[in-house]
Structure 1
């Protein structure tokens, strides 16, 4: 015997009739088995481990670019550590020139074993990489990347008319910290910010972005998702 007669089968489906049928045959019969899907398809860097003061810290950086670009930096400890033992920052850079596009604020852990920091760029465009930074138990800042970067000698940096060195976030990773680091202003214009202002743990919510001369302000760079 057919479950639905001809008259009912040919009738238009309304919300009420849909719910009635679903309650009898089950949602899984109408749509197949439902299973949760991952919210992100994150590409992770290789995990880096370091042991300090009897605690092993593991950290890595990841990026999800299937939707809006989201960079994640995470660090875990092998045992419970006090608040403030770990710090992290998530950073998105352009693949083309390694200029900083978006960065979270520096965040510290609460008492526990992990710290995860994310930052999201309101763009669907490709061409970005995640370059996170972590700090643990007085170690000094460490970087972690999605793609392996060649480790060569520190590069020679270009110098502007005022004798200030110009560089990128990649240069910082390779041991050559510039006075001015390549950065993208909130307006989308490429420029430079003073590294000491970007790197400050107590940095303000926004810092100035300058032209190559380091004095002509062309915009601002805002930390986090503000």
Structure 2
């Protein structure tokens, strides 16, 4: 059993690389688009600095709609867009497109909730000192919410590792797809268990690292 695992270790490492690519692209998309979206959601809420009910309701409905979409159906539904964007719908990078679409509104919601937890007194104090919107958001809200944002980021990374398994239906590769194809379908439970073990280790490392960093950043 151990010899079989050692023999396929290079393939497992290649699958881990594919998972890292999918997760990396999707996390980057979540940060680039999810943080601004979540911030706008918070700022346009009722009673906030840029209260705008129409815009909030529009964005809130969009976030709720995408978050409610089953990932497998979303992957299939955005195939034309994926082909338009990267030229093909099969492979590791194309799989990152629907994963990014799925994670952006999810991360935006987490960002919004992190900002909701910021003490209103701190925001009011910065307003009284003449801070503008950019300064309030960047130097006050994000600083106060940084611990929650780190936890949210670690959570979406873990979620994306799980999502990458489902992305195997479009030939994405990755650890989950490798475990199913080479472990389950070929009746090699040792390979499947070894691959799952690698995924568990990855999740644990991310979870522990995220929690420790969040505790370090939490100055309250």
TM-score by length of 2: 0.21
TM-score by length of 1: 0.21
Q: Which one scores higher on RCO, CA 8 angstroms, separation ≥ 6?
A: 2
Decide which structure has greater strand share: 1
Decide which structure has greater helix share: 2
Larger Rg: 1
